Structure 1
């Protein structure tokens, strides 16, 4: 099914290599080269979505609980390949994600990081998401989408990208070094010690900088201009020669921050276990 009628001319090689995709650029991409994924809740998806977009389901469908820690990214290649293949994903397609700009968890960021970790570098977020689509008067599809395009994705195509991943041991070894910039993307009361999501302890990782992920976005959920984003990071002395690690409660909200740092060209990793994981280990230090 054609997402938009009228003019599919450019290939991915003709577009800017940026993780933020405009609606105008999406409309130039051949439909056979694109998979559009809606990361919102299933009920929102059924009420209306971009024609042909597939529903990803919940982010937790791609994560596991290990030793009591929720939110850890699933690293079972066979299981992941089956789920992604069912969405029409393969190694040759551009994966376009969109979510709900008013959602304070914005799971499209988690999916963006997840797909980069699984080895799909041609993954982008659609600027403005469904709101931008509707504002152009483009058609909306309701109910389930038509079946996705064929995919020959195999388990061996899932290639974990360790350069975008951090766990508690990786962080512990680099804690309190000038080369590491830890960014806590939760709400301020969580950073200060509140535990609204059942964490074992309150507080934050020592040395972490608090930047609520929503500070990167305007009131409509649109990414702020590049100069405003750079000014925010300069305020906290976050530099491009550092290794940036973002975290939240379970690596979901920090996924949106991960996207911002990728967009700006920083070397960034997401900590999937985040505070659920760190707070559970009594041997790890905590500040509050």
Structure 2
């Protein structure tokens, strides 16, 4: 019976997402190989120094999440967008210019959610139309017989216009006002045990409240991506969002623990052509604000 329901959801979902822009958001190793050497190409490998040093796509620059986030310390929230000028400075240091074609490479060490966090940041900065995810990361690259490099490339600083953030980040008040508003869906991207409240998130010293934002539906990031660092098949993504009550034309407002996993769910939503927004403070902030929560399995 469950298989029949899933098949029915796929059949109903497929026509609605027929014009999905997935092809413009992802890159294959074959496509990337044809771009290597072009002056406007910027390849960003997301991860740590050890993995980068062990081998990266030729010409790739290393980027860590802290490079593109606001400073931590005190009561600061984890992994917030930096201010526009700080982000511009960091991107130009990576060689990003107004004409750059950017490919973001996920790694097993950092997970696809780290790469999609970088992609979301670039999208918020107005560069999303020229940014792609290399599906499968370095493993997919080498699986096609292509070599990795241990050489750190020399980077010519980019020339990037002042950044004017697109309105893709929302705050707790926006989430409260749109929790059950027509045309919007608040989406929890965490694992089901956090959504239900069976397990609280956050560090041991400061755990989050158990449960979810009141009114949120569940689309775990792991349900719309694969362990081999790719988006799930389009029909599976469409069925997953449809099962959560998301309709074509809805705006998806996603959150997670700190605003990282949610970007993978939002990337999948973009692949369906949906409008997206990120509650960047996510459950870390919601818990601190004592926001309304619900517990129990999804209805």
Whether TM exceeds 0.5 here: the answer is yes
| Contact 1:183 1:244 (8 Å CA) reproduced | yes
| Contact 1:102 1:221 (8 Å CA) reproduced | no
Pair 1:248 & 2:256 matched: yes
| Contact 2:81 2:121 (8 Å CA) reproduced | yes
For residue 26 of structure 1, the aligned residue among 26, 32, 51 is 32
SS at match of 1:182: strand
For residue 71 of structure 1, the aligned residue among 76, 79, 87 is 79
Unaligned runs of 5+ in 2: 1-21
- Name 2:101's counterpart in structure 1: 94
- Name 2:190's counterpart in structure 1: 186
Q: Distance in 2 between matches of 1:179 and 1:130?
A: 38
| Contact 1:102 1:220 (8 Å CA) reproduced | no
Q: Distance in 1 between matches of 2:76 and 2:208?
A: 11
Unaligned runs of 5+ in 1: 1-15
Q: Which shows bigger deviation, 210-219 or 82-91?
A: 210-219
Q: 1:168 to 1:209 in 2, by over 3 A?
A: same
Q: Distance in 1 between matches of 2:59 and 2:111?
A: 26
TM value normalised by structure 2: 0.83
SS at match of 1:72: coil
Pair 1:285 & 2:289 matched: no
Q: CA deviation at 1:224?
A: 1.9
SS at match of 1:36: strand
- Name 2:19's counterpart in structure 1: none
Q: Distance in 2 between matches of 1:108 and 1:206?
A: 28
Q: 1:104 to 1:132 in 2, by over 3 A?
A: closer
Q: 1:249 to 1:18 in 2, by over 3 A?
A: same
Q: CA deviation at 1:103?
A: 4.7
Pair 1:152 & 2:156 matched: no
SS at match of 1:63: coil
- Name 1:257's counterpart in structure 2: 265
Q: CA deviation at 1:151?
A: 1.4
- Name 1:173's counterpart in structure 2: 177
Q: How many residues align?
A: 267
